[in-house]
Structures are given as C-alpha cells and as structure tokens.
Amino acid sequence: MTVETIFVLNGPNLNLLGTREPEIYGTETLADIEAATKIRAGEFGLAAECRQTNAEGTLVDWVQEAAASSAGLIINPGAYTHTSIALYDALKAAAIPKIELHLSNIHAREAFRRHSVTAAAADGVIMGFGAAGYRLAVEALKSLLERRVA
C-alpha cells in the first residue's frame, strides 16, 4: 500500500516558535510541532512533509509543488495570511484539499490580523488551538481526503 504524503507549510517567523511571544503562540518549538504532526499523520496512514520559510515566493513555490505531488496541504501562512494575493492565487489553483491553520484566534487579535486573504482558497480554517491545531488539521485533512475517494 502506498502512503500518501501531505505537505505542512509554515510561513514567516514560525521558526521562532517557543521563544516568540509564548503568551500568544505557546512554548512548543516548530520542531516539536512538526514531530507531533508527523506522528498524527502516521496514525492516519499519511506521511507529512513539513517545511518553513520566511520568503513569500518560496511558500508559493511549495504550494505549487504540493499541488503537483501531494494528497493535501496544511498551511500556516503567518503574516502572509493578511497580505499575500500571490499565495491566495497559488492556493486557489491547487486542486487538492487545503486547510489553513493559525495557532492563535486571528479574530481575537489586532484589527490588521482579523482578515485572511488566503482563507477563501482553503477548504477549511482551524485557529486558536495552539500547537494542537496541527493535529486537528491532520484529522480534518484526512476527512477531506476520504470524502474525495468516496
């Protein structure tokens, strides 16, 4: 049986998790979150390819790569959530199931963070659950994948 791969993409400053504003983002590092995400994916028979970049163009390239070579995508666009039309366009063009993810509840944050440019290109959005959101996103993505097969 072939194991399907999902991409888990993280945008700018998520490499600082564990030290950046732990009162908002928690104390788990990105490495901690990626390890837990890979375990959760494995429980569903999936492999998780986890990546992080601070560069918008790289994130767009990875979305396109995910669309061409993976079963689905979980993305935490970071600050690009609020600004990136290029990322929105890449997500919109990606004909795979997509979950947008945020550690914090963006609607309970500063006014400039309350709007997501990219959410309209996702199948669903998970936010406000901290690091546990990644595990929830894997479960949601698996559900979307199962509905596609049925």
Catalytic residues: 25, 102
Q: What are phi and psi of 123, to 5 degrees?
A: -75, -25
The secondary structure of 35-62, three-state, reads HHHHHHHHHCCEEEEEEECCCHHHHHHH
- How crowded is the C-beta side of 45, counted as CA atoms within 13 Å? 9
Instruction: For residues 117 and 119, give the distance between their C-alpha atoms in angstroms, rounded to a whole number.
Output: 6
Residue 88: CB atoms within 10 Å: 21
Using DSSP, state whether 147 is helix, strand or coil: helix
Residue 45: closest CA among 76, 9, 3: 3
The tokens for 43 are 């429980």
